[in-house]
Structure 1
Amino acid sequence: MTVPAQRLAFEIPAEDLQVPRARTLVRAHLNRWGCSADSDTGAAALLLLTELTTNAVRHAATSPIAIAITVDGAGLCIAVHDRNPSRPVFTGRAPCTDATSGRGLSIVAAVTEELGGALTMATDRDGGGKTVRVHLPWAAPALCAGVLPSDTSPLGVRQSGSACRAPLRPAPANDTREVEDRV
């Protein structure tokens, strides 16, 4: 049986207080779709969402930040897009023990690898932004099929059947499709 994708896409302002809002919204949708946000993978997904969104808010500091969560037969995808042209630098090394920041992408990479997932970054073709995506294999999506009766949630967030690779924003006339790199 093919599992139809469940997708949540929304934007937040680049403000620290919006990170918990994003996490709460995603938690509610995962649970509503029948994919427990309290499972190991669900909890990891919320941690990854928090780290990616915090990085976009703190380092990109551009508004809005677009977030998409897709659950389908292939697993769970978290995508965070901002319009800052700077790409995060991932060295694969942990920061100094007394550093007060710099662990976010290391945490994302480690958790993603531990769960057998993939971490990718795609630069907008116009060079004006980027999308960081995490794809996690998850057996739970088979339980998520057909839960939503309509394409709009009670929270007013538009749903669609798009897959993880779908752009987070409509493509402008000058074609700013993404160029993807595996992290």
Structure 2
Amino acid sequence: MMYSWPVALPYRHVLTVPTMPQAVRLARETAEQALLEWNIARGHPAVDPALLILSELVTNSVRHAAAYSPEVTVLYAAGRETLAFGVHDRHPERPPLRASATAGRGGGLATVMELTADLGGTAVVRGDTDGGGKSVWVTLPL
């Protein structure tokens, strides 16, 4: 694969699903299960925003990458003080990450960036080494 894990996070899970609308629900349900297994309380203030961010990222892949990427891969990782997830697809375009929508574009990613910033987290787009895809990684403090 062309994606890489955040450094030093002991809990990890990978989900690869067809790039179809059902992927959003499955990615969210998988995240909820992983968080439960990793003893990250559902009531933690970062959990609901993290699930929304994840849903937006997977939705973005489903909407924009399906023609290029028959599958989307969601990578989940956590540690005692950090929650991270990446959404990987094979669409070659690397979307700009900015906190406000301009000219009607970037609504979902604008939401991602605003929530990430509100939680004190970071977001980055990492291109595949072959230039044929990318991962959007979000890291949030717990």
Greater helix fraction, Structure 1 or Structure 2: 2
**Following TM superposition, by how much is the alpha carbon of 1:125 offset from its aligned partner in structure 2, in angstroms?**
1.5
TM-score (norm 2): 0.85
Instruction: Name the residue aligned to 2:4.
Output: none
State how many pairs are aligned: 133
After superposition, the C-alpha distances for 1:83-123 in whole angstroms (9 at most, x for unaligned) are 11011134543356xx5x74110011111111111111101
Write the distance in 2 (CA, Å) between the matches of 1:38 and 1:15: 29
Instruction: Name the residue aligned to 2:110.
Output: 106
Instruction: Name the residue aligned to 1:122.
Output: 126
**Following TM superposition, by how much is the alpha carbon of 1:4 offset from its aligned partner in structure 2, in angstroms?**
6.5
- Structure 2, gaps ≥5 residues long: 1-7
Segments ≥4 residues shifted beyond 6 Å: none
Out of 8, 13, 25, the residue aligned to residue 13 of structure 2 is: 8
* More displaced 10-residue stretch of structure 1: 37-46 or 121-130: 37-46
Write the distance in 1 (CA, Å) between the matches of 2:85 and 2:100: 23
Instruction: Name the residue aligned to 1:48.
Output: 53
- Is the 1:77–1:135 contact (alpha carbons within 8 Å) kept by the matching residues of 2? yes
TM-score (norm 1): 0.67
Write the distance in 2 (CA, Å) between the matches of 1:6 and 1:131: 19
Amino acid paired to 2:111: I
In the TM superposition, 1:121-160 aligns within 5 A as: 121-138=125-142
Instruction: Name the residue aligned to 1:94.
Output: 101
| 1:36–1:74 Cα change, 3 Å | closer
**Following TM superposition, by how much is the alpha carbon of 1:17 offset from its aligned partner in structure 2, in angstroms?**
1.6
Write the distance in 2 (CA, Å) between the matches of 1:82 and 1:29: 21
Secondary structure at the counterpart of residue 107 of structure 1 = helix
